[in-house]
Amino acid sequence: MNGIDLAVSTVIFALRPAPDGHLVLSIPLVRRVRDPFEGRWALPGGAADATESLADTAARKLAETTGLAPAYLEQLYCFGEPDRSPVSRVVSVVYWALVRVDEADLTFADENVRWFPADELPQLAFDHNLIVDYALWRLRTKLEYSRIAHAFLGPTFTLAALREVHEIVLQRPLDPANFRRQIEASRAVVPTGEHVTGGRHRPPRLYRYDTSVQLVDNGPLTPAGVR
């Protein structure tokens, strides 16, 4: 009511296979069909809703535009510089989300929704490049001290798959033996007792995150309904 429009947007991260088979950290963007910035790509989002929590609005908007359901959803930051929109004052509460690999296989029916490699974006609408850069910084920082990597993976995974997630997000190779030692020392993952099925001689063990260990994930403000 003070001449300020309140919006909610979300940066959605997923690991998607590139044409050569490698997984690439990717985000879905929506092409704007009206001014300002008509034709430019932008983060999924829209106006805040007067009766809904901000996290619920973020989850609903991202489901409506992309069909995706987040495995992890956290508030990123509230962006409110006076000049970020050329036509009105818009304050955007931005969330960031992680979706699983199987969800990320999805190709969007709407030609105005498309996956982009997170590190090779075109010039986006508003200050959305800055927002994605900040979300990437948060993701990379948080990956090193929390168990959020499993939100890309599903409930069970091999240590090689977990290491690959870390390597793709951090953009550097990790020594397998060191990685195994660090993960085991952190006591964040535990063996399930199961192995990858298939005809291999020494099938890799499957692990899961130990949810009884207190790790810094969302902090004390986890939105209701999201782990």
Q: Identify which of residues 4 and 63 has a Cβ nearer to its own copies in the complex.
A: 4
Which parts of 45-84 interact with its own copies (CB under 8 A)? 47-54, 75, 77-78, 80-82
Three-state DSSP at 111 gives coil
Cβ-based neighbours of 225, under 8 Å, separated by 6 or more? 55, 56, 59
Q: Identify which of residues 137 and 211 has a Cβ nearer to its own copies in the complex.
A: 137
Q: Identify which of residues 6 and 196 has a Cβ nearer to its own copies in the complex.
A: 6
Say whether residue 129 binds its own copies (CB under 8 A): no
Three-state DSSP at 57 gives helix
Which parts of 135-154 interact with its own copies (CB under 8 A)? 137-138, 141
- Single out the residue of 70, 213, 87 nearest to residue 151, CA to CA: 70
Say whether residue 179 binds its own copies (CB under 8 A): no
Q: Give burial (CB, 10 Å; 0-12/13-18/19+) of 209.
A: buried
Cβ 91 to its own copies shortest distance, Å: 6
Say whether residue 91 binds its own copies (CB under 8 A): yes
Among 133, 140, 156, 168, interactor with its own copies by CB under 8 A: 133
Cβ 179 to its own copies shortest distance, Å: 22
- Single out the residue of 51, 123, 47, 49 nearest to residue 88, CA to CA: 47
Centre a 10 Å sphere on the Cβ of residue 61 and count the other Cβ atoms it contains. 23
Half-sphere exposure at residue 23, Cβ-oriented, CA atoms within 13 angstroms: 23
Q: Identify which of residues 30 and 48 has a Cβ nearer to its own copies in the complex.
A: 48
Q: How far apart are CA 198 and CA 109, in angstroms?
A: 34
Say whether residue 193 binds its own copies (CB under 8 A): no
Tokens 């063996």, residue? Answer: 191
Binding part of the chain for its own copies, among 89-97, 112-120, 147-155, 180-188 by CB under 8 A, reads 89-97
Q: Identify which of residues 13 and 79 has a Cβ nearer to its own copies in the complex.
A: 79
Cβ 2 to its own copies shortest distance, Å: 5
Report DSSP letters for 137-156, one per residue: HHHHHHHTTSSGGGGGT-S-
Binding part of the chain for its own copies, among 24-32, 43-51, 60-68, 186-194 by CB under 8 A, reads 43-51
Contact present, 143 and 163 (Cβ < 8 Å): no
Binding site for its own copies (CB under 8 A): 1-6, 47-54, 75, 77-78, 80-82, 89, 91, 93, 133-134, 137-138, 141, 216, 219-221
